[in-house]
Structure formats: C-alpha cells, structure tokens
A and B are shown apart, each in its own frame.
Chain A
Amino acid sequence: MKILVAVKRVIDYAVKIRVKPDKSGVETQNIKMSMNPFCEIALEEALRIKEAGLASEIVAVSMGPKQCVDTLRTGLAMGADRGIHVEANEALVPLTVAKIFQALVGLEKPGLIIMGKQAIDDDCNQTGQMVAGLLGWPQGTFASKVLLDKEKQVATVEREVDGGLETLCLDLPAVITTDLRLNQPRYATLPNIMKAKSKVIKKYTPQELNIETKSDIEVVEVTEPPKRKAGVIVSSVDELIDKLKNEAHVI
C-alpha cells in the first residue's frame, strides 16, 4: 500500500510574525520557513506504518512556490521515498489544494492519505476533510492514535474531540488528519539528508492536472489584533484579591 502525505511550507512556529504595513498580509521575506508541525507528525506516522511492514511506499506532496522543494527534501530526509511538487505561485485555498490532491490520487492510487489537522499559518483545518469529501473516502480527523489492520483493510482511529476521545473504524482507502499527540516526529540525520538529495521529486502544475486555481475567497486586509491594555504587577496575594474584587469586580 502506498501512503500520500501532505507537507506544507509555513513560517516557522517559533517566529513572531509581523503584519505588513500595507495590510496585504504577513511579512514572509527573509523569514525562517519550516515544515508545518502537524505535517511532520503526519509524515512520522506514515514512516512508522511503513516500518511496521504495513506500507510499501511513502510519497510526500507539497504545493506552492519553488521553495516548497526544501520542505519536500526535509520530508525525504526524514524517510519519505519520493516527492511530488505541484508548483503554483499564487496562494492556494484548501478547496484548490483538495482538488489537486484528488487529481494526484487518480494518478498515484494510494491506499491512505495522512495530513496534519491544520496549517499553523492560515489555521483553516479544512483540507483533509475536503479531500475525503471529494474522494468519497471516510475521514479520521484529529487522530491521536492510528491502528492499521492490513488483512481487513481498516484503520482504527482514536480522535481528540471536545470532552474526550472518540474511536472510529474506517475502511481503507481513507484520509487521516493528525493531532499533536499522535507521535513525536524524528529528526533527519546527516547521512539521510545527503541521501535525500538523490531522491526523486516529480513536478506538476495545477494546469497540467486541469485544476483552476481561482478562489472564491478574497483577502480584504490583514491587521494586527487589538493590543491588550498594559497590566500591573501586584506585590502580594492580598493586593491581587483586592484588585480583583474592587477594581475588576470579577470575584
């Protein structure tokens, strides 16, 4: 069975982002970019499935500008077998990404797709669900545990939901999106980084896959969130209780 893993190039999670003065977006020039943390977890899970002898090949897929190749190389260094880069210079909304994925599934015929539950830049949390919908495949979102049964061709997925955990059983092929607690992603070792340089990355454009990239969402402006009024440092518990009672009126 082949597994497709989506990996997105985003601003590194530790970077404090800056909004552009013209409000057109967030500053991305000369800013450290990395693989979206949830995508790392997705790739790690795929690698573990392969190491358990339940998958034959892992294909990492990234969409966006040419620098996405760096993200794919990171994925290949972690252990993915090959990469697919769908090069697009315009911003892609999740619906477009999902349609591109649908086209790639037609070409690659994977038995499982694993994605992160959300990208930490747009915070959308949509793509996995949309891919599953377009393909008519079952979905296991926000997964914190995945068990594959190769014989029965099912995946048992434990999901993080409000108020606890939910377990679902999905017929393969399926789409799984990963939550933080699914696993601890590995680091790429230096020999593997070198090996990754010779692995194949196939290129497509959305046009070659017959996907229109025009979106039905238009960004009007991006602004900074309202600043909170500077607070005060109190010196004792008594002062704190007094402030909460007589100034803030919350207790």
Chain B
Amino acid sequence: MLTALRTTSTSTLPRFYSLIAAYRSITTLVIAEHENGAIQLPSITAVEAAKSLSNDNNSISVLLAGSGPSLHQAAKHAATCHPSISQVLVADSDKFRYPLAEAWGKLIHLVQQKGGYSHIITAANSFGKNVLPRAAALLDVSPVTDVISISDSNQFIRPIYAGNALCTVRYTGINPCMLTIRSTSFPLPALSADSQSNEAHISQVDLSTFDEDSIGKSRYVQHTSQDTERPDLGSARVVVTGGRALKSAENFKMIEKLAEKLGAAVGATRAAVDSGFVPNDLQVGQTGKIVAPELYLAFGVSGAIQHIAGMRDSRIIVAVNKDADAPIFQVADYGLVGDLFEVIPELLEKLPEKK
C-alpha cells in the first residue's frame, strides 16, 4: 500500500508542463445525467458553467452513460440542447445502468486519459457529489466542489461554513481541474430557436480498455421516490417552506395547498423533516437542497444558519413567524409577525388565482 502511494506522487515537471498547456486552451468534459431520454436540467446548467471558463477556444464535450434506447435518445437531446456543446460521448454498457460511483469513477478516468481535458465539470447534486471526488482521487487531483462563481479558468468562488463565508480558490494542479457547480448560480439564458440547428457530433466511448477492477463490488437494489406533480424544488420559480411551527403532517398540507395556488414547490426545514411532517428530499439547507427561486416564502421557520445557507440567494424572501426576533427576519425582504394558522388561510383566500 505504501509503495503504491509513493508512485502516485510523481515528479513536479509533468505537472508544470500540463499547467502551461492548461492556459493554452480549454477543453471541458461535462458529466451529464439523463432520464427518460432527456438530459437533466442541472447537467445543462453545468454546460452553461463550462462555457464561462473561457471566452474563446472552449470546446465542450458531454459524457453520458447508461444502456438501451433511452440513452441514445438522451444523446440526441444532448446534441441539440445547448449551442456550446461540440461533442457528445456515449458510454453504452450494462455497467452504467445505474449511476454507481465505482463504474462512473473508472469511466471518467478512462475518458480523461483518452481526451486529456483541461476541465471536468458536473452539477453539485447527489449524483455529482457522489461520483466526481472518486474520479478525482483516481486522477490524483483535488476537486473544487459547489462552485458558485467562475473568475477565470483556474479561479473559483465557493461558499464555506454554511455560506457564512465565501472562499476564492485557485487550482494550481495538473489537468484536469475538476469542479462541481451549484446549479442555481448558473441560470440558463433563454435559448433561441435557431440555436437548435447547431447539432453536436455523437460518438461512442471505446470501452475495450475499461478497467473492471472494483466494479461489481456495489450493487443497485432499489430507489424509492416521492411522486409529486409540483415543480422540482431545485428549479422552481416559487418555493413555499414550512418549519416546525406547523406542528403536524396534517397541518403541513396547508403549505402544500398554498404551493398549489402559487404553482410553487414545497420545501421544509430539517426540524419539519425530523418531526416526520414531510420526507427528507424536501429539506432546504446546508445538508439538503440549495434553492434560489424568484420568491421564497418561509412559514414558521426560525432561520437557523444551516437553513439560510440553502435559500439566501433567493430573489425575494418572505417570512411569516410568530416570534418577531426570529433570525429569519434578518434575511427577509418582507416579514409578517403573526400566527401562520391565521395568515395561511387568509393568503389562500386573498391571493390572486394563478395557473
């Protein structure tokens, strides 16, 4: 084990040359997720972030993996979904049927060895956070996670301490520079119809040299998801969140009703999740989802720093709380001190009908 370690810390000379090369041109690999034959929105956002690495000479490839017809349908979607994509790489194998980090780590390693990309980017969602650091370790580089701003091709800003400080970091290592990006910080511009004409080249990843070591040591068992017809929490324009003050799962339905009226997604604090009012995938905060909607309405939310870390970038924040000293009022644009059991019904009655 120790000898293996010694060989990984190679001489600094190749590091130096690849650093020079990094300044010459930017070639980015975006690790993408797909579902039902389409690229997922956070992955398209990662392409948008990749675009901002450099103004010129930035060639962006998208890597998709999976198996069967839905993969190839997704590849077609990838080829046209963003005008900056120049190539779509498809890894078609049963090994990628489920998004397991072991297989993905090896795949990224393989594709990087062939492609020599200067940057590898993916969204900082549960897939990206699981897969990218593992791949980075295989490539012996430090990843930069949860990037909210790209200053230049090697300098990035990321939040630390639950968003209570912003840290600017410079990547000084060898290629590739690996990033996960916070989707809400790289909004997609409205893409015009004519951009669709620009179609990227689709090619298959040659898996003949795919290293199978450690693949198969993890097996997918099942996925249980919450069926919901409401918009996705991560990308919703309006989010209505409830906290512990709702008191019960039954009362939490008021939040859902209000969300329906506003065409909004439902969020929750950790306290509400831990009390069993709602499932944990609705949790907003440092350890849950990070959201940045146009309008964020918080009902019975005290405003712990861990929660604020997940919603402080919302454009308009509204807080309704009985306690006038609740910290949530310090970040709220509009605050209403009152009992949410009176305020929510009144809002339901008086809000204009929408959608």
Contact = CB atoms under 8 A, between A and B. Distances in A.
A52 B52 CA distance: 52
A221 B225 CA distance: 40
Contacts of B9: 212
Q: Is the interface of A mostly helix, strand, loop or mixed?
A: mixed
A217 B171 contact: yes
B222 A166 contact: yes
B341 interface: no
B8 to A, nearest CB: 8
Contact of A138 (B132, B166, B214): B214
Nearest to B347: A237
A27 B337 CA distance: 34
B318 A225 contact: no
Interface residues of A, number: 90
A125 B170 contact: no
A126 B164 contact: no
A221 B160 CA distance: 12
A210 B2 contact: yes
A245 B315 CA distance: 14
A232 B351 CA distance: 20
Contacts, number: 268
B1 A250 contact: no
Contact of A233 (B162, B170, B287, B329): B329
Given A17-B164, A95-B142, A220 B170 contact: yes
B333 A248 contact: yes
Contact of A225 (B166, B173, B280): B166
A251 B295 contact: yes
A11 interface: yes
Interface string A160-178: 1111111111110010000
Interface of A: 11, 13, 16-17, 19, 26, 93-95, 98-99, 102-103, 105-106, 117-118, 120-127, 129-134, 136-142, 144, 156, 159-171, 174, 179-181, 209-212, 215-225, 228-229, 231-238, 240-241, 243-245, 248, 250-251
